[in-house]
């Protein structure tokens, strides 16, 4: 046959345009994108009739934790590379960038990279890459940035809760030289720890006090400090999982001043609130993440606005699911003899969401379609050095990664956890009315998810490939010259 796959009668949406186009795929790549009807009579091994539905570049989720030890709280990661990528592909996401965590006691980043490769290799349903988590920013880690770039890693994440500002400057300084994007978890650790002590003195341990101990001001302060450190070194940063509109304001102010400050938000800051942490019994624990869901509608509104106006570059899941039940002690991991009713500080932080990210945002019907593609796919590819192989539908250039939806108005349903493919027994979005779900997911020309034909194509485990990444194609340092202390 002339082509491996034809996708006919779709409304193709990219970040750039929307139109009635047919798509031909050959050898895993987009071969042609042409006006509807152009392929009449063409021969293909497989044909999908999109029946007028939206066809988009495959989703890219650039913030996913799989098989990582808990950083805050006690618990075991629920998803490994197999179950996490299986969940992703079933929700229309074809590329994940997960984290390779360096332990504080481990001076090397390259060792963390190798260990994470071993977990992912031959296990993935999606294509994948890693951001290194730099927990120990000592001289060995810093000296390895160059080798990381050679190994195809062009981003790393740091926690302001763990690193001193001087260590952050060390990281940013070398990141500038090596053209690495530094992702920053911006919360003030002292405010958090101090508030936890105050709550403990009053014996306030319920899950909702997690939100009390991570107040907006902890995020707002750290965000402005991160912007300042990045401005001083003149290096791009990405503030991860922004929850507070006031923190977003610091980011958009920096952007208006021309600084290469990028930002990410997540569905939990669009759909959950602090009240979700106050559900009865242990239910509230399921929505504990850092930063926590904020007060209410006004916060959601501010975050949606940030997506619309470009303050946020990407909408990622921050999928970070935990198993709470500790088989060794036969109880939930936040429950021990000292805290028989549990303690919020031992609830592991993070929620599942890799499978629901696209459908939640699409069903909300809030973003213009091209903006939706930009923040859920294209911008992640650009920011993290995968564009235009990923995040685009450029003939002869882009991988044939597609998310194909249902025709308008045919797929309203109530979300339940039993529909999902992660290894967790809950979703924070249980019972929500969804207007859409991906009907097909295509990775490099292979149909890996076909909802009406049995769903997941199980034989595709291991089809996912490691992606070597280049430097970001979004704006970098403002000056091309070497950083010189005398300039400041
Ligand atoms: O609560 C969260 N977000 N857990 C994952 C770790 C992180 O900081 O992203
Ligand atoms: Zn974080
Ligand atoms: Zn809302
Ligand atoms: Zn995270």
DSSP class of 295: S
Widest CA span in the chain: 75
- pLDDT tens column, 193-239: 999 999 999 999 999 999 999 999 999 999 999 999 999 999 999 99
What's the rounded mean pLDDT across residues 75-104?
A: 97
ipTM of the prediction: 0.95
Atom of ligand 1 nearest to the CA of 185: 8
Q: How far is the CA of 449 from the centre of ligand 3 (A)?
A: 30
pLDDT of residue 71: 81
- Alpha carbon distance 9, 35 (integer Å): 9
Atom of ligand 1 nearest to the CA of 63: 9
What's the rounded mean pLDDT across residues 175-192?
A: 98
To the nearest 10°, the Cα dihedral for 336, 337, 338, 344?
A: 20
Neighbours of 305 (CB within 10 A): 15
- pLDDT tens column, 242-258: 999 999 999 999 999 99
Residue nearest to atom 5 of ligand 1 (CA): 350
Q: Angle formed by the axes of helices 297-309 and 245-256, to 10°? A: 20
219 lines ligand 1 (CB under 6 A): no
What's the rounded mean pLDDT across residues 106-115?
A: 98
- Alpha carbon distance 336, 30 (integer Å): 55
Question: Average pLDDT over the chain, rounded to whole?
Answer: 96
33 lines ligand 1 (CB under 6 A): no
DSSP class of 214: S
71 lines ligand 1 (CB under 6 A): yes
The token pair at 297 is 């509608």
Tokens 């400050």, located at residue: 261
Q: How far is the CA of 100 from the centre of ligand 4 (A)?
A: 12
Q: How far is the CA of 259 from the centre of ligand 1 (A)?
A: 26
Alpha-helix runs per DSSP H in 24-126: 81-90, 109-120
What's the rounded mean pLDDT across residues 108-123?
A: 98
320 lines ligand 1 (CB under 6 A): yes
Which of residues 410 and 268 earns the better pLDDT score? 268
Three-class secondary structure assignment of 250-292:
HHHHHHHCCCCEEEEECCHHHHCCHHHHHCCCCHHHHHCCCCC
293 lines ligand 1 (CB under 6 A): no
- Alpha carbon distance 253, 227 (integer Å): 10
CA distances from 138 to 94, 142, 143, 163, 342 (A): 35, 6, 9, 11, 36
Give me the count of residues in the chain. Answer: 488
**Dihedral of CA 25/28/29/31: which sign?**
negative
- H or E element in which residue 55 lies: strand 54-57
Residue 136 has pLDDT above 80, yes or no: yes
Burial class (CB in 10 A: 0-12, 13-18, 19+), 347: buried
What's the rounded mean pLDDT across residues 466-476?
A: 98
What's the rounded mean pLDDT across residues 134-143?
A: 98
The token pair at 117 is 């490769």
Closest-approaching ligand to the CA atom of 211? 1
Q: How far is the CA of 446 from the centre of ligand 2 (A)?
A: 33
Q: How many helices (H) and strands (E) does the chain have?
A: 14, 23
CB 29 within 8 A of CB 445: yes
Closest-approaching ligand to the CA atom of 289? 1
Q: Are strands 331-332 and 127-133 parallel, antiparallel or unpaired?
A: unpaired
pLDDT of residue 293: 98
65 lines ligand 1 (CB under 6 A): yes
**pLDDT class for 487, splitting at 50, 70, 90?**
confident
- Alpha carbon distance 228, 234 (integer Å): 9
CB 47 within 8 A of CB 306: no
**pLDDT class for 263, splitting at 50, 70, 90?**
very high
Backbone angles phi, psi at 360, to 5 degrees: -60, -50
- Alpha carbon distance 181, 239 (integer Å): 10
Task: Please tell me whether residue 62 adopts helix, strand or coil conformation.
Answer: strand
Atom of ligand 1 nearest to the CA of 349: 1
**pLDDT class for 92, splitting at 50, 70, 90?**
very high
Residue 488 has pLDDT above 80, yes or no: no
**pLDDT class for 459, splitting at 50, 70, 90?**
confident
131 lines ligand 1 (CB under 6 A): no
Residue nearest to atom 2 of ligand 1 (CA): 350
The token pair at 147 is 């080798």
- Choosing from 241, 291, 424 the residue with most ligand 1 atoms within 8 A of its CB, the one to mutate for a pocket test is 241
- pLDDT tens column, 332-352: 888 888 888 889 999 999 999
**pLDDT class for 294, splitting at 50, 70, 90?**
very high
Tokens 């939640």, located at residue: 360
Backbone angles phi, psi at 446, to 5 degrees: -95, 130
Q: How far is the CA of 263 from the centre of ligand 1 (A)?
A: 15
What's the rounded mean pLDDT across residues 391-414?
A: 97
- Alpha carbon distance 488, 483 (integer Å): 9
- Alpha carbon distance 440, 435 (integer Å): 16
Task: Look up the pTM and report it.
Answer: 0.97
What's the rounded mean pLDDT across residues 302-311?
A: 98
Strand ranges inside 321-367, DSSP E: 322-323, 325-326, 331-332
What's the rounded mean pLDDT across residues 359-373?
A: 98
- pLDDT tens column, 417-447: 999 999 999 999 999 999 999 999 999 999 9
- Alpha carbon distance 414, 37 (integer Å): 35
Please name the residues in contact with 261: beta carbons below 8 A apart, sequence gap of 6 or more: 227, 230, 236, 237, 239, 251, 254, 255
Q: How far is the CA of 128 from the centre of ligand 3 (A)?
A: 31
Residue 291 has pLDDT above 90, yes or no: yes
Residue nearest to atom 7 of ligand 1 (CA): 290
- Alpha carbon distance 74, 329 (integer Å): 12
State how far Cα 277 lies from the chain centre. Answer: 22
CB 95 within 8 A of CB 61: yes
From the list 412, 405, 242, the residue with the least C-alpha distance to 313 is 242
pLDDT of residue 282: 83
Q: How far is the CA of 366 from the centre of ligand 1 (A)?
A: 26
The answer to whether the peptide bond before residue 291 is cis (omega within 30 degrees of 0) is yes
């Amino acid at each position: 046959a002339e082509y491996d796959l034809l996708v006919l009668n779709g409304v193709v949406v990219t970040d750039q345009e929307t139109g009635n186009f047919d798509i031909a795929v050959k050898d895993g790549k987009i071969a042609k994108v042409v006006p509807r009807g152009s392929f009449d009579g063409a021969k293909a091994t497989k044909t999908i009739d999109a029946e007028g539905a939206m066809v988009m570049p495959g989703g890219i989720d650039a913030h996913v934790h799989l098989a990582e030890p808990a950083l805050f709280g006690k618990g075991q990661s629920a998803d490994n590379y197999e179950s996490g990528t299986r969940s992703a592909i079933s929700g229309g996401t074809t590329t994940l960038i997960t984290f390779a965590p360096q332990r504080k006691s481990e001076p090397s980043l390259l060792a963390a990279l190798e260990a994470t490769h071993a977990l992912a290799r031959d296990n993935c349903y999606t294509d994948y890459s890693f951001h290194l988590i730099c927990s120990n920013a000592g001289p060995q880690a810093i000296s390895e940035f160059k080798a990381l770039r050679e190994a195809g890693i062009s981003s790393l994440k740091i926690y302001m809760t763990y690193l001193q500002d001087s260590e952050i400057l060390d990281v940013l300084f070398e990141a500038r030289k090596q053209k690495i994007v530094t992702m920053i978890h911006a919360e003030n650790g002292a405010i958090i720890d101090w508030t936890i002590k105050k709550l403990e003195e009053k014996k306030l341990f319920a899950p909702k006090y997690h939100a009390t101990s991570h107040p907006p001001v902890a995020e707002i302060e750290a965000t402005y400090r991160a912007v300042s450190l990045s401005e001083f070194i003149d290096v791009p940063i990405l503030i991860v999982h922004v929850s507070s509109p006031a923190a977003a304001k610091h980011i958009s102010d920096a952007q208006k001043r021309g600084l290469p400050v990028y930002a990410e938000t997540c569905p939990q800051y669009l759909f959950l609130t602090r009240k979700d942490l106050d559900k009865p019994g242990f239910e509230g624990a399921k929505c504990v993440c850092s930063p926590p869901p904020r007060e209410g509608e006004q916060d959601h509104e501010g975050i949606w606005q940030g997506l619309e106006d470009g303050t946020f570059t990407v909408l990622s899941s921050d999928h970070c699911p935990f198993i709470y039940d500790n088989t060794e002690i036969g109880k939930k991991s936040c429950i021990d003899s000292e805290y028989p009713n549990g303690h919020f500080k031992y609830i592991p932080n993070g929620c599942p969401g890799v499978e629901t990210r696209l459908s939640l945002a699409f069903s909300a019907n809030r973003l213009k379609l091209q903006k939706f593609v930009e923040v859920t796919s294209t911008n992640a590819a650009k920011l993290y050095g995968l564009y235009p192989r990923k995040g685009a539908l450029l003939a002869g250039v882009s991988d044939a990664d597609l998310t194909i939806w249902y025709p308008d108005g045919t797929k309203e349903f109530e979300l339940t956890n039993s529909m999902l493919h992660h290894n967790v027994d809950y979703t924070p979005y249980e019972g929500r009315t969804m207007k859409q779900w991906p009907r097909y997911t295509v990775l490099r020309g292979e149909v890996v998810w076909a909802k009406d034909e049995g769903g997941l194509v199980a034989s595709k485990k291991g089809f996912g490939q490691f992606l070597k990444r280049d430097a970001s194609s979004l704006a970098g340092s403002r000056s091309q010259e070497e950083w010189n202390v005398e300039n400041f």
